[in-house]
Chain A
Amino acid sequence: MPVETWLYFTLGFMILGSIIALEIKDILSSIVAIGVVGLGVSVAFLFLQAPDLAIVQFLFEIFAMIILVRAFVKKDYHAETPARVNGFLVAISMLVIIAIFVSSISVFKLLPPFGQPLFETAQHYVDHGVRETGAVNLVTAIILDYRAYDTLGEVTVLFTAILGTITILRIRNGKNAGRKGA
C-alpha cells in the first residue's frame, strides 16, 4: 500500500481520538485518549521516514502521560463538572472554525502536492554532511554540529521551563507552610 493510505488512516484515527479526548467526561479516559493520539503521531513519523522523531515522540508521550496522570488523577480524581453548556459559545466557535477550515482549502491548494517538498536548502547537508561532520545520521549532524547553537537554546528553554516548574511547585502558601509541598 502507498504511504498516503496509511497516513490517511493514521490521521483520521488521530482526529477521532482527539475529539473523543476533548468530549469525554472522565478525565483519566481523556488523558489516555491523548496518549493514543500522541502514539499515532509517532506511527505517522515512522511512515514519513523519520525514525529519530518517532522515538522522541514516543518518549515524549510516555513522559507526558506520566506527568498528567501523576498530577491529576491520583490526588483528586474527578470527572469534568457537568456545568451548563454554553450553547451559544459552542455554536459560535464551531461556525468560526468551520469558516476558517473552508476558507483555508484554497490556501492549501497553493502548496506543492504531497511528496514534492519545496525546501532545497538541506541539499548541502545531504551532500556534504558526512564529510564535514563525520556523523552518518544527518539529523544528528544538523542538531549537534550545523545548528548546535539552536540546540543550546533548546536546552536553555528546557532548563528554564523545568526551573519554573520546580519553583512554582515549591512555593508554599502562608497558611500551609508546614505542609509538605505538592
Chain B
Amino acid sequence: MILYLMCFALFLVGVYGLLTKRDLIKLILSIAVMGYAVNLFLILFAYKKDAGIPILLEGVVQGSMVDPLPQALVLTSIVIELGTTALLVALAIRLVQKYKTFDITKIRRLFG
C-alpha cells in the first residue's frame, strides 16, 4: 500500500506544480510528471509476486507471468503522451513568440 501511496504522492507533486507555477515550461513538465505517475500506478497494480516477464522463452519452464494486458495499454499511453507533449511544446512556442514572455499571468490578450 505504501508503494501506491508514494505513486499517488508523485501524482500530487504534478498537481501542485500545475496549480502554483507560472512558467509555461514548468506547466508542461508538471503534466509530464502526472503522466509518469499514472502509468507507473497501472503497472504497479498489475504486478504479481514472484512472476516473470510476459514473454515465453525457449527452454525456460513457464511459471506464472505478470499481467500482459495493462502493459500493452500503458505502452499505448506512453506513445500518446509523447504526441501530446510535442503538441504542448508547439503551442508554448507560438505563445512565447507572440507575447514574448513565459509567464502565464502576463498572457492576457486573447484576440488579435
Answer yes or no: are A and B bound together in one complex: yes
Chain A residues proximal to chain B, CB less than 8 Å:
4, 7-8, 11-12, 14-15, 18-19, 21-22, 27, 30-31, 34, 37-38, 41, 44-45, 48-53, 56-57, 60, 63-64, 67-68, 71-72, 76, 78, 80-81, 83, 86, 89-90, 93-94, 97, 100-101, 104-105, 108-109, 111, 113-119, 121-122, 125-126, 129-130, 136-139, 141-143, 147, 150-151, 154, 157-158, 160-162, 164-165, 168-169, 171, 173, 182
15 A-B pairs with C-beta separation under 8 A = A15-B13, A18-B17, A37-B33, A44-B43, A49-B54, A53-B39, A53-B71, A64-B85, A97-B12, A108-B4, A137-B55, A137-B56, A139-B71, A154-B79, A158-B80
Contact of B69 among A12, A97, A101, A121 (CB under 8 A): A121
Q: Are A51 and B69 in contact (CB under 8 A)?
A: no
Q: Are B45 and A165 in contact (CB under 8 A)?
A: no
Main secondary structure of the interface of A (DSSP, over half): helix
**Which residues of A are found within 8 Å of B81, using beta-carbon distances?**
60
Q: Are B105 and A83 in contact (CB under 8 A)?
A: yes
Q: Are A15 and B94 in contact (CB under 8 A)?
A: no
- Chain B nearest CB from A21 CB (Å) reads 6
- Chain A nearest CB from B100 CB (Å) reads 9
Q: Are A64 and B73 in contact (CB under 8 A)?
A: no
Contact of A48 among B22, B26, B66, B97 (CB under 8 A): B66
**Which residues of B are found within 8 Å of A53, using beta-carbon distances?**
39, 43, 71, 74-75, 78
- Chain B nearest CB from A119 CB (Å) reads 5
Q: A56-B79, A71-B92, A182-B93 are in contact. Are A31 and B4 (CB under 8 A)?
A: no
- In angstroms, Cα B78 to Cα A63, docked, is 12
Chain B residues proximal to chain A, CB less than 8 Å:
1-10, 12-17, 19-23, 25-26, 28-30, 32-33, 36, 39-40, 43-49, 51-57, 65-76, 78-87, 89-94, 96-98, 101-103, 105
**Which residues of A are found within 8 Å of B45, using beta-carbon distances?**
111, 117-118
Q: Are B21 and A119 in contact (CB under 8 A)?
A: no
Q: Are B47 and A48 in contact (CB under 8 A)?
A: yes
**Which residues of B are found within 8 Å of A114, using beta-carbon distances?**
1, 3-4, 44, 47
Q: Are A116 and B48 in contact (CB under 8 A)?
A: yes
Q: Are A18 and B33 in contact (CB under 8 A)?
A: yes
- Chain B nearest CB from A177 CB (Å) reads 14
Q: Are B6 and A15 in contact (CB under 8 A)?
A: yes
Q: Are A27 and B80 in contact (CB under 8 A)?
A: no
**Which residues of A are found within 8 Å of B80, using beta-carbon distances?**
154, 157-158, 161
- Chain A nearest CB from B64 CB (Å) reads 9
Q: Are A122 and B67 in contact (CB under 8 A)?
A: yes
- Chain B nearest CB from A147 CB (Å) reads 6
